[in-house]
Amino acid sequence: MPEHLRRFGVPEPLRRFVEGDWETGWMRVEEFRDGETLVVRVDAPGIDPENDVEVTVQEGTLSIRTERRESPEDSLKDGYRSEFRYGQFSRTVELPRGARSEDVKASYRDGVLEVRVPIAPEAGPEPTRVTVNRS
């Protein structure tokens, strides 16, 4: 934080807002199919997966909420400057038809949250051939 802002006791989040660094509500995701499973990965470094993550599935939508907290001790150090994003982040992903919400699994490793959603194979009826009559 610039010395003149630190001298007047400007909190770090306010400094970020004043300097134009306020886009903290969006999290980056990647999604792909792995066979009959939808995989959603979230870039979420520096969080405690047991306390700072909430994953829910409701009405065909996967919702992910995380919170990354700033250490107050770090922000008081001389020359402190941070480009990290802190605060609450959330994202929703529309699930494909056949998603089995009761079997969703989530894991966290090396700063990446991975959510795996099993998708039931679409087993519709066989197509019926329709005879076209000459009139």
Domain count, the chain: 1
- Distance between CA atoms of 6 and 77, rounded to whole angstroms? 11
CATH number of the structural domain spanning residue 56: 2.60.40.790
Q: What is the pLDDT of residue 86?
A: 81
Judge if pTM exceeds 0.85.
no
Per-position b or e across 29-57, b if 16+ CB within 10 A of its CB: beeeeeeebbebebebeebeeeebbebeb
| Domain housing 103 | 26-118
Tell me, yes or no, whether 77 lies in a domain: yes
In a domain, 18, yes or no: no
Q: Pick the closest to residue 87 from 28, 9, 25 (CA basis).
A: 25
* Tens digits of pLDDT across the chain (135 residues): 454 554 556 665 565 556 554 444 567 889 999 999 999 999 988 889 999 999 999 989 999 999 988 777 777 788 888 777 788 888 899 999 889 989 999 999 999 999 999 998 875 677 888 889 887
Is 135 part of a structural domain of the chain?
no
Tokens of 105: 């699994």
Name the strands in the sheet holding 37-43, side by side, starting at the edge strand that comes first in the sequence.
Answer: 29-34, 37-43, 112-118, 105-109
Examine residue 108 and state whether it is found in any structural domain, yes or no. Answer: yes
**Rounded distance, CA 78 to CA 93, Å?**
41
What SS3 state is found at 82? Answer: coil
